[in-house]
Amino acid sequence: LESALKIMSSKPGCSKVTKKSKNPEKRSLGRKKMMEASENALRNSPQLEKKLVFPGDDLGPVFHLPFAIGPGVRLSSNQLISTHFGMVLQRKDGIWIDFCEKAYFPYAGDRVVGIVVGKWMDYWKVEIGAWKTAIIHYLSFENATKRLRPLVNIGDVIYGRLKHDIEPELVCKDEMGKANDFGILPGDGMMLKMPPAYARRLLGRKKQVLLAVGKEVPCELTIGMNGWVWIRASTARQRMAISHALQLGNMVPHHRQAEVIKAAFKNFTSNEFK
């Protein structure tokens, strides 16, 4: 056997045969070292401070994968480039720019609220406030088949996820094929349109405005990254109060949001809130 191995190794194109380690502890130790190395790379990756950037500014390279690139940032030759003027924010798993915009620019993966405005073959047209009307296929709903199609009417409000952004297409299920709160929203609600940048702040970590509203009146809010908010409450007066409070939250500093929202609800105080 040894002579045969020597002959094979001497021939061109033949590689030496090596024995695999039969010790499972060594293999587990190797995996552990690889995991520790990747964690150290994430921990030691430089963090960008909150600062203003201009379009075309270099934000640095991508140090690790997976890495989420959010609105206002694009990847060019492994370098992150800003596309908007605003405040750059970065975490270990992603980077984005908080910028003010009146019109919504679709990004794949965004969760948006839209209104069904028409039908075209096997698709429905959904207005999401972008430069182009989005579409959604009847098979994009949970448990939908060719025989069992979802009941969608013009004027319905849909909460979905953008599958494509160049040609905006919505789906009403997650990656596992489950609805997961996506789909047609109840009809007893009210639509509020706000700047997309403010909607992103509402969905941030602190959620000061949403917590302040929740303390005053029970409600259901569906907030889309396109700035459209679906408000559902017991009465029309409560929905108006919530809409007014959300708009005030965009006009005051962070440290005064809870105070201003509480004062706004006092103006709508009635027996309905008790």
Q: What is the pLDDT of residue 158?
A: 94
As assigned by CATH, the class of the 110-185 domain is mainly beta
Q: Would you give per-residue pLDDT tens digits along the chain (274 residues)?
A: 444 334 434 444 443 333 444 555 555 555 555 555 544 544 454 454 577 888 888 888 776 666 777 778 888 887 888 888 888 877 777 787 777 777 788 888 889 999 999 988 889 999 998 888 999 998 888 888 888 888 889 999 999 999 887 889 999 988 787 888 899 998 888 999 988 888 888 887 778 888 888 888 888 999 998 999 999 988 888 888 898 888 888 888 778 888 888 888 877 765 444 4
Give, in order, the Cα–Cα distances in Å from 9 to each of 4, 19, 94. Answer: 9, 14, 48
Distance CA 69, CA 253 (A): 28
Q: What is the pLDDT of residue 63?
A: 64
How many CB atoms are closer than 10 A to CB 141? 23
pTM, whole model, 2 decimals?
0.68
DSSP letters, 207-219, are: -HHHHHHHHHS--
Q: What is the pLDDT of residue 84?
A: 82
Distance CA 233, CA 151 (A): 24
Distance CA 234, CA 245 (A): 16
The token pair at 271 is 């027996």
- Ordered by start, the domain boundaries in the chain are 51-98, 110-185, 190-271
pLDDT tens digits, 227-256: 999 999 888 888 888 988 888 888 887 788
Distance CA 157, CA 127 (A): 10
Q: How far is CA 209 from the centre of its chain?
A: 19
Domain covering 51-98 in this structure, CATH number: 2.40.50.100
What letter would DSSP give residue 43?
H
For domain 190-271, give its CATH number from 3.40.50.720, 1.10.150.20, 3.10.310.70, 3.30.1370.10. Answer: 3.30.1370.10
Q: Do domains 110-185 and 190-271 have the same CATH topology?
A: no
